[in-house]
Amino acid sequence: DIQMTQSPSTLSASVGDRVTITCRASQGVSKYLAWYQQKPGKVPKLLIYKASYLQSGVPPRFSGSGSDTDFTLTISSLQPDDAATYYCQQYNSYSETFGQGTKLEIK
Partner 1 sequence: QVTLKESGPAMVKPTQTLTLTCSFSGFSLTTPGVRVSWVRQPPGKALEWLARIDWDGDEFYTTSLKTRLTISKDVSKNQVVLTMTNMEAVDTATYYCARMELGSTAGGGFDYWGQGILVTVSS
Q: How far is the CB of 15 from partner 1 (least distance, A)?
A: 26
Can residue 68 be called a binding residue for partner 1 (CB under 8 A)?
A: no
Alpha-carbon distance 106 to 12, whole Å? 6
> Closer to partner 1 at the Cβ: 5 or 77?
5
Alpha carbon 53 to its chain's center? 12
> Closer to partner 1 at the Cβ: 76 or 97?
97
Alpha-carbon distance 75 to 82, whole Å? 9
DSSP 62: E
Q: Is 82 helix (H, G, I), strand (E, B) or coil?
A: helix
Can residue 44 be called a binding residue for partner 1 (CB under 8 A)?
A: yes
Q: How far is the CB of 17 from partner 1 (least distance, A)?
A: 24
Span interacting with partner 1, options 16-24, 66-74, 75-83, 91-99, rule CB under 8 A: 91-99
CA-nearest of 56, 53, 64, 57 to 86 is 64
Strand arrangement, sheet containing 62-67: 4-7, 19-25, 70-75, 62-67
Q: How far is the CB of 16 from partner 1 (least distance, A)?
A: 28
For partner 1, the binding residues (CB under 8 A) are: 1, 32, 34, 36, 38, 43-44, 46, 48-50, 53, 55, 87, 89, 91, 94-101
